[in-house]
Structure 1
Amino acid sequence: MSFVQVIEFETTHEQDVQRAMDDWRDATENERSVTHTTLTRDHSRPNHYVAIVEFPSYEEAMRNSDMPETSALATRMRDLCDGPLRFVDLDVIRDEDL
């Protein structure tokens, strides 16, 4: 069963967040278990963002979370965000292309 993590945060430093995500992507190229990411910005609240991160399984998400590069990204994100990040862990029970 695939697994999705949703991360919500507020920031006025979008470009720095994007750079941090790019740095993480480059540093984990052959190690990460993330299969897909989507970064969104709330249309009516332009400083509110939602990142959607997909994994093959919960276990792979936990392996990815334990990587030093992921810990470094989390630290950078906490520094760039206005307030705490909110994490929602979701088991995918239905997924279809329409």
Structure 2
Amino acid sequence: MSENAEQTHPLYAADRDLVDALLGHQGDPGPEQLTVAARLVMRYGDFPGAEDIKADIQKVVSSWGLDAQALNLRCREIWASGWKPGQQLDGDLGSGADVADQDG
């Protein structure tokens, strides 16, 4: 096999779904979108294949007005804030068990 042959990444199908979701995201990216994009940039950066994913991720990141360096900076800030994947940043969300009755 040639050293320059394109390969199929084992996570391609799942990652394609993530990229498609990023392409369809409306509005400003939140922590989830930013960190997913950064993870995919890292995963596919030097990978010999998946050119469609690479091109689409670049398109998404550019549409946010970011380059790879700015994306990484934003993600470092997100992780430093204590955010975890799947976590909402809105402090008003929750079970309600810890919220005082505001009617009276």
TM-score of the aligned structures, taking structure 1 as reference length = 0.29
Name which structure has the greater RCO, CA cutoff 8 Å, separation 6+.
1
User: Going by fraction, where is strand more abundant, 1 or 2?
Assistant: 1
Q: Which protein shows a greater Rg?
A: 2
